[in-house]
């Protein structure tokens, strides 16, 4: 227990002890407190572990209850961070007038002391900086990235990663000083002012906005720029001017970075936090980025441990690898190396990397040791979240997932019984369950309904309608239900609609759906136009009226995790999206007429592959993949239906010219009567169904993808506005469902 006399003072006012710790000298002072080198109680003279670092918070801050709570949070945060990447917390005392924290003492310079050994205290101005060499920079990049992976996996955001908080010890790089670190959702009175080192802040931090893990990633890049150049990436005459530069200007001194590091640093320092990679993505790219690059042969010349400062560590770059066992200090590293195994490709734009010659980092023994021995649990958790079971094949030679389809021409289509007429407003979606035993419908009245199709001629409603409220009620202002899609295993239903409504329901018992989560809006308040499950079932994609595509990890369907936000059209909504059958590609269409293809084989590092070479002249309202994944069909308000060869998703090509539904005139604009609103491929890939604003469903023969032609039209939807919003084939292709603005859903027997 600390008493008011627990801190003994020197005559000059400086403390000589606190609690059982004898303070030897001051190591430094920060905004929160002062750090002292101290002796452990009872430690023998000459004991190499007798020294500790004691941080005592400033007296004027200790009087503030809010600051004490923040200090307690710092302690809890620091204790969650693995020892390998930071200073271990050994003791803490929150009682009395002088709370303190006792940490492992790390003997070594900070990065700022290494680069600027005399700081700005030289008699005749600033000392000449000593930037790190390429090999040292590469080692630093991996070790700080690995530390951030572990820190973020512990639920902590550092918020002040800077050269003075990076320690270069004999045991490796450590990230220290969690004095302003906090859980991502934490807010206090103290958060109302900007906290951090200005020159290394992210743009959102400079604006005093909420800072998350992406802010630490930005700082990772800024620290590397400093280490490479001896200068911060943003510098101006005053702090306000520096903050303004951070928001507006590209970082300085990027040309001082090694060629292979520069693209990663530029990506990490993107002005938009949602566009930056995660720390796990950075680390995976650093470790696996050598795939596709031809390593330069080099003799593995051993390096003396004593010369590490000059060589920068036991590995090289551009495919060269030195004898790491000669440079890694201590038995801990050696045991780690014994257990290390080269991991599979963990993610990232491999195709882009190979094409641009970006990333030429080999999987070095040192990096493997860091990952395998030190961050195995957090790194695995961070990198496997939302990732598919296999990587993408070469984009140009990706094999088809099914055989070439053989079309079965439909016989005379017929109504299957009476249309479903339980709706008081238009119906936007009709979707079959994977076994086609259930139909889900989403309507403008704000409900999602499930229908039993045991007798397709007499569909019967199952249970109560689903609404945005768990009790099934409808309330003024709820808006429309716009989408409803079953998961590939049929146990979960994703629903979406106006005002950011998006949730998951457990429909294992179709008569009693159970809400799993309604927190899939990603913070947006605009309508969510469409949703899609990837074939692997662990990722959900949502399309927003705000022009974004959001990817969610569904490993735990009660607690989905956002993994990536992609920017679609600069103006207008994303109306539609679809996963390829192998889950590696996502096609989207929106208000700018473009069809975009995204690499989502590793969702956390998803990125744009290509746009189709020709745009629609209006909104793209529907995109679908053929069952073999080789073709994307798109349609929109211009009345055109276009087919694209996407076997090379980086270079989609048109298959023939556009075809027109319902004899459209080709007029453009959202109100045109020939707009095509819905598409669906038959399971055998030989037929494409389209639904348009005239109320017509057209069946197209697409066995020759370059020359599609109409097989006939299904006429049944009527009224002033009979727009067909949705068409869907049953599993066997024998039944087609169409949903319309005329308040009905119709089932058609095709054979």
Just list the catalytic residues.
160
| Nearest C-alpha neighbor of 244 from the set 232, 235, 253, 256 | 235
Residue partners of 123: CB distance under 8 A and separation at least 6: none
DSSP structure string for 627-688:
TTSSEEEEEETT-EEEEEE-SSTTS-EE-S--EEGGG-----STT-TT-EEEEEE-TTSSEE
CA gap 51, 41 in Å, rounded = 10
Residue 645 β-bridge partners: 631, 653
CA gap 699, 412 in Å, rounded = 12
Q: What angle do CA 142, 609, 367 make, to 5 degrees?
A: 15
Distance of CA 387 to the CA centre of its chain: 11
Residue for token pair 């066995």: 703
CA gap 707, 657 in Å, rounded = 8
Q: Where are the alpha helices (DSSP H) in 482-529?
A: none
What would the two tokens of residue 431 be?
Answer: 């979707």
Phi, psi dihedral angles at 576 (to 5 degrees): -155, 150
Cβ atoms of residues 151 and 81 within 8 Å = yes
Strand order in the sheet with 448-452: 427-432, 438-443, 448-452, 460-466
DSSP structure string for 212-224:
-HHHHHHHHHHHH
Residue for token pair 């945005």: 468
CA gap 413, 267 in Å, rounded = 54
Q: What secondary structure letter does DSSP report for 272?
A: S
Q: What angle do CA 337, 338, 339 make, to 5 degrees?
A: 90
The half-sphere exposure of 521 on its side-chain side, counting CA atoms within 13 A, is 13
- CA 498 vs CA 214, 443, 524, 546, 615: distances in Å: 29, 11, 10, 12, 27
What burial class does residue 473 get, using C-beta atoms within 10 Å of its C-beta: 0-12 exposed, 13-18 middle, 19+ buried? exposed
CA gap 275, 715 in Å, rounded = 46
Strand order in the sheet with 709-715: 676-681, 687-692, 696-701, 709-715
Cβ atoms of residues 617 and 638 within 8 Å = yes
Q: What angle do CA 166, 170, 176 make, to 5 degrees?
A: 25
Q: Where are the alpha helices (DSSP H) in 571-616?
A: none
Cβ atoms of residues 651 and 604 within 8 Å = no
Residue for token pair 């928001």: 247
What burial class does residue 476 get, using C-beta atoms within 10 Å of its C-beta: 0-12 exposed, 13-18 middle, 19+ buried? exposed
- CA 643 vs CA 250, 497, 612, 702: distances in Å: 40, 28, 10, 9
């Amino acid at each position: 227990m600390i008493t008011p006399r627990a801190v003994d003072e020197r005559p000059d006012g400086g403390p000589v002890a606190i609690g059982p710790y004898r303070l030897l000298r001051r190591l430094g002072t920060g905004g929160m407190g002062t750090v002292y080198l101290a002796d452990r109680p009872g430690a023998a003279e000459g004991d190499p572990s007798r020294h500790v670092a004691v941080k005592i918070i400033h007296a004027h801050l200790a009087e503030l209850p809010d600051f004490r709570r923040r200090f307690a949070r710092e302690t809890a945060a620091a204790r969650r961070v693995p020892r390998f990447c930071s200073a271990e917390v050994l003791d803490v005392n929150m009682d009395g007038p002088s709370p303190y924290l006792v940490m492992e003492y790390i003997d070594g310079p900070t990065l700022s002391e290494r680069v600027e050994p005399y700081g700005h205290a030289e008699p005749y101005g600033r000392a000449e900086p000593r930037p790190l060499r390429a090999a040292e920079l590469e080692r630093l990049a991996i070790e700080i990235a690995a530390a951030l992976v572990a820190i973020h996996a512990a639920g902590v955001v550092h918020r002040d990663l800077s050269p003075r908080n990076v320690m270069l010890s004999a045991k490796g790089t450590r990230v220290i000083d969690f004095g302003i670190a906090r859980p991502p959702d934490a807010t206090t009175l103290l958060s109302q002012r900007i906290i951090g080192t200005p020159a290394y802040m992210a743009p959102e931090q400079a604006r005093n906005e909420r800072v998350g893990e992406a802010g630490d990633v930005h700082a990772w890049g800024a620290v590397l720029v400093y280490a490479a150049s001896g200068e911060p990436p943003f510098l101006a005459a005053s702090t306000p001017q520096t903050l303004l530069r951070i928001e507006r200007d590209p970082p300085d001194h990027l040309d001082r970075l090694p060629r292979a590091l520069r693209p990663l640093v530029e990506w990490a320092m993107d002005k938009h936090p949602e566009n930056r990679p995660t720390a796990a993505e950075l680390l995976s790219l650093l470790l696996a980025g050598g795939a596709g690059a031809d390593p330069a042969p080099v003799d593995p010349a051993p390096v003396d441990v004593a010369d590490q400062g000059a060589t920068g560590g036991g590995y090289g770059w551009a495919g060269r690898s030195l004898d790491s066992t000669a440079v890694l200090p201590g038995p801990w590293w050696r045991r780690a190396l014994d257990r290390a195994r080269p991991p599979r490709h963990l993610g990232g734009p491999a195709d882009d990397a190979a094409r641009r010659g970006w990333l030429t980092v080999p999987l070095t023994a040192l990096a493997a040791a860091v990952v395998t021995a030190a961050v195995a649990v957090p790194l695995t958790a961070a990198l496997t979240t939302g990732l598919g079971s296999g990587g993408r094949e070469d984009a140009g030679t990706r094999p088809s997932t099914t055989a070439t389809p053989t079309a079965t021409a439909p016989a005379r289509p017929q109504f299957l019984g009476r249309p479903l007429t339980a709706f008081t407003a238009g119906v936007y979606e009709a979707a079959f369950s994977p076994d086609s035993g259930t139909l889900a419908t989403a309507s403008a009245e704000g409900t999602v309904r499930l229908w039993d199709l045991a007798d397709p001629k007499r569909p019967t409603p199952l249970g109560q309608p689903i609404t945005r409220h768990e009790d099934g009620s409808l309330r003024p202002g709820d808006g429309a239900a716009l989408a409803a899609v079953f998961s590939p295993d049929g146990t979960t239903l994703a629903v979406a609609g106006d005002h950011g409504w998006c949730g998951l329901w457990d429909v294992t018992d179709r008569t009693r759906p159970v809400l799993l989560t309604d927190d899939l809006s990603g913070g947006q308040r605009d309508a969510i136009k469409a949703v899609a499950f990837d074939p692997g079932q662990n990722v959900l994609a949502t399309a927003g009226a705000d022009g974004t595509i959001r990817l969610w990890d569904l490993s735990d369907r009660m607690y989905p995790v956002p993994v990536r936000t992609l920017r679609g059209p600069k103006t207008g909504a994303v109306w539609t999206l679809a996963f390829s059958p192998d889950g590696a590609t996502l096609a989207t269409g929106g208000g700018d007429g473009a069809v975009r293809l995204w690499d989502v084989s590793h969702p956390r590092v998803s990125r744009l592959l290509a746009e189709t070479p020709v745009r629609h002249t209006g909104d793209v309202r529907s995109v679908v993949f053929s069952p073999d994944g080789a073709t994307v069909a798109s349609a929109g308000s211009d009345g055109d239906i276009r087919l694209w060869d996407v076997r090379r998703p980086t270079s989609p090509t048109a298959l023939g010219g556009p075809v027109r539904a319902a004899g459209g005139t080709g007029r453009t604009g959202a109100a045109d009567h020939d707009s095509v609103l819905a598409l669906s491929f038959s399971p055998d890939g030989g037929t494409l169904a389209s639904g348009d604003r005239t109320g017509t469903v057209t069946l197209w023969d697409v066995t020759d993808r370059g020359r599609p032609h109409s097989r006939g039209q299904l006429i049944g939807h009527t009224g002033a506005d009979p727009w067909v919003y949705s068409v869907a084939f049953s599993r066997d292709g024998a039944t087609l469902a169409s949903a319309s603005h005329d308040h009905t859903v119709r089932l058609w027997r095709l054979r």
